[in-house]
Structure formats: structure tokens, C-alpha cells
Structure 1
Amino acid sequence: MFNWLRDKLKCIRPVSSWMVTISGEAIVTTDGQGTERQLPIVDLKRVVVATDDSGPWGDDVVFLLYSDGSEPVGIFPLEAGGCQDFVDWLSTLDGYKDREMAKAMSSTEVARFAVFSAES
């Protein structure tokens, strides 16, 4: 189910070169190849944590940021620089689901967890 994502992360090393930052009014993600994407904070609709069964030796936790579309507009692994700051920021927003984040962080299966949904 997440093979495309696992393959993308395997091809790009090291994961430490991935970054996520909150810069002004946007969330900025940079992948391991230096491609930068910006998502205006006001356009953030959902954050999903995707997990797989490759841990602890693989990169098994990935954050997917969604706007209105069905495809993520930002992707970064748990090991990305700035990830903890992003999670700290996200946890202050209405619509953050702490219980779902806890489930995601303890998951050892292929699964998705909606950890944030913007209020409608």
C-alpha cells in the first residue's frame, strides 16, 4: 500500500537532509534532493502519519500534509530536521488528535493515522 512512499524514501539518503519548518505563514518542506515545497498554513486541512512495518531498521514513519486535494502537498519522515518543532506546533492547533499521534508512534504495521483535521 505504501510501497511508493517507502521506495521514494529509500532512494533519497540520508533522511537527515529532509527538513520541515514553519516560516512566517507557510509550512516549508525540503526533501532529500533539495526540492522545496511551501504550504500556506491557512491551506493546511489534514495531517496524516503513515507507518509501515520496516522499523526499527527502516524509515517507518512519514508525515503527509494535505490541502484540499487528495494528494499530499508536503511529505517528510520522522527523522527530518525540524520534525519535533513541527509536531510541537501542530499540537497547539484545534483539530490536533493526541491519541492518534500516540497510536501512530507505537504502530508496527502499515497504517495511516489522521493526527490533525482543520475545523470546518
Structure 2
Amino acid sequence: MFGWFKKRSQRLEAEARWDVSIDATRIAVRDASGEVKMVNRAELSGILIETNDSGPWAADVWWLLFGADDHVACAYPQGATGEPAVLDALMTLEGFDHAQMTAAMGSTGNAIFPVWRKPA
């Protein structure tokens, strides 16, 4: 009868199995399988939010962090463990586009929202 609620709870649990952390020098992401990827804060070159139409049954909001080579260094889904602390730090970056982030959070389709680019 409440199968949709059970699926929603499982999805949230799956996203929470991802772990993202930040310290003075790096941002690290550990995915659900335990693989770790990271980017040095000094080498962070851009941030995109990618949304898709798989919600609410799958992760539909992803944070993509780009390294010095302008390739994705690490990515994590909204709802990852540790996300609030990382988000607080990212939102303080000079030029962070809060309007684009707000637009991304309201998106239910397949879209990409650039929210920050390292100043030249």
C-alpha cells in the first residue's frame, strides 16, 4: 500500500551512503562502494549542478566539482552524508551563483546549472 514511501526511504538511504567532506586543503567524496575521489581546494576550477528526471526514485541532483584540468574531479548526490558543511563552504566562494543553485533545486528535468567558476 505504501510502496512509494518505502522506495523514497531507500533512495534517501542510498544517497546518504555517499560521504563528502571538506577541510582546509581538499574536498573528498567516498561513494557507496567505498571509492574515494578528491580535489584540492586550490585547484577547484568550477562547480556545476546536474539534474535529471529520475526523481524521486533515484538521485536526481548531482554536484560536479572540477579540478585544475577542467575535468570532473569528484561528484556527489544531494543528500550525501556531510553535504551541509561542504555546501556552506562552497556557497562562500567569490562569485558563487545562488540564483543558479536555486533554479537547480527547482528543476525536475535533465539540465546543467553552472554555479561557480574560478576567477581568471
**Same fold by TM-score, threshold 0.5 exceeded?**
yes
TM-score, normalised relative to structure 1: 0.83
Number of residue equivalences: 108
How far apart are residue 71 of structure 1 and its match? 3.1
Instruction: Provide structure 1 residue ranges, at least 5 long, that are not aligned to the other structure.
Output: 1-12
For 1:73 and 1:37, how far apart are their aligned partners in 2?
7
How far apart are residue 23 of structure 1 and its match? 2.2
Identity of aligned residues (%): 31
Indicate yes or no: 2:79 matched with 1:79. Answer: yes
Where does residue 9 of structure 1 map in the other structure? none
Deviation digits for residues 63-109 of structure 1 (CA, Å, limit 9, x no counterpart): 11101335311010001111122111111110200000000000011
For 2:102 and 2:88, how far apart are their aligned partners in 1?
14
Where does residue 26 of structure 1 map in the other structure? 26
For 1:27 and 1:37, how far apart are their aligned partners in 2?
9
Where does residue 116 of structure 1 map in the other structure? 116
Indicate yes or no: 2:58 matched with 1:58. Answer: yes
- Partners of 2:47 and 2:66 within 8 A in 1: yes
For 1:23 and 1:89, how far apart are their aligned partners in 2?
10
The 3-state SS of whatever aligns with 1:73 is: strand
Q: Which structure would you say has the larger Rg?
A: 2
Aligned CA RMSD, in angstroms, stands at 1.4
- Partners of 2:46 and 2:118 within 8 A in 1: yes
